[in-house]
Amino acid sequence: MAASDQVEELNLALTLDIAESIARQAGAILLHHYERAREAAHKSTVIDLVTAADKETEAFIVGALRDAFPDTHIVGEEGGGYGTPADRTPYHWYVDPLDGTVNFAHRMPFFSVCLALSDPDLNPLLGVVYDPLRDEVFKGIRGHGATLNGRPLRVTDESALSRAMLVTGFPYDRWTNPDNNAAQFGHFLRRAQAVRCVGSAALDLCYVAAGRYEGYWESGPNPWDVQAGILFVEEAGGRVTDYSGVRSQQALMGHQIVASNSRVHDQMIAVLTLGEDAPRPTG
């Protein structure tokens, strides 16, 4: 019997409402920690941090999801798989309790709670990203649009890379990894109107969907960072691919992802594939 035959089909609208409530409560936990004295531990490198807030918030989210949706699988950033085994359910949660941990640890006010429900092939079905400091809730359901505090999300109409604002991030092993995005950052810096790096892949994607950026690229995030944002960008009229321009598993996992308003996408792919040989603006 297939996994999908063993599990009751979820009402996605109701599921999204519950997920939003969980994200808001998780955001309240983060705010409780935000101004308190705290210590951050290292994970893979000195610049890959985890705080008590990450752990407490993930424990809350995982517990709440397991109570509300016992027949789903849960993948959390700070832990392993929880709930029903992945091969026995078509519903897989990806949870980032604190996207932007380094920002949070330095009291930089740019971080979020991120929840996404996806199928076994990493196609996001619904998602919620909550910015507790701004009280901004990005949410959506596949095929039913995405919103910011109830307002429909829509990408921009800008078609020229030279007039586009882009955003990116850098891998935690950038001190030693030659594939550290430094060269790509320089190429875009000389071809786009502006390039930013602010430290939350989830919010970066939300901002593309909301028309605050034209595009985002990065090599290194994980599914819990990007699954919700991928849904929002696509529902807002944008495009998501890997660096070759294909909507692949690499892109859906976040390991190599380009998201845009669609109109500057091919220009971004050209920069990523051609490097210094990519066309430059003439004026």
- Same-domain status, 29 and 141: yes
Average pLDDT, the chain: 91
Report the CATH number at residue 183. 3.40.190.80
pLDDT at res. 175:
65
For residue 241, the enclosing domain spans: 161-275
The strand pair at 165-168 and 194-196 is best described as parallel
Strand partners, 218: 257
Residues 114 and 233 in one domain: no
Taking Cα atoms as reference points, which of 269, 93, 103 lies closest to residue 184?
269
pLDDT at 81 over 80: yes
Query: 139 and 31 in one domain?
Result: yes
Q: How confident is the model at residue 39 (pLDDT cuts 50, 70, 90)?
A: low
Q: How many residues does the chain have?
A: 283
Q: Quick check: 91 pLDDT over 80?
A: yes
Count: domains in the chain: 2
CATH code for position 78: 3.30.540.10
pLDDT digits over 130-175, tens only?
999 999 999 999 999 999 999 999 999 999 999 999 999 987 665 6
In a domain, 280, yes or no: no
Q: CA 279 → CA 143, 152, 183, 187, 193, distances in Å?
A: 35, 34, 16, 10, 14
> Is the pTM for the entire model greater than 0.85?
yes
Tokens of 80: 């392993």
Write the pLDDT tens digit of every residue in 8-27.
899 999 999 999 999 999 99
Whether 8 and 140 share a structural domain = yes
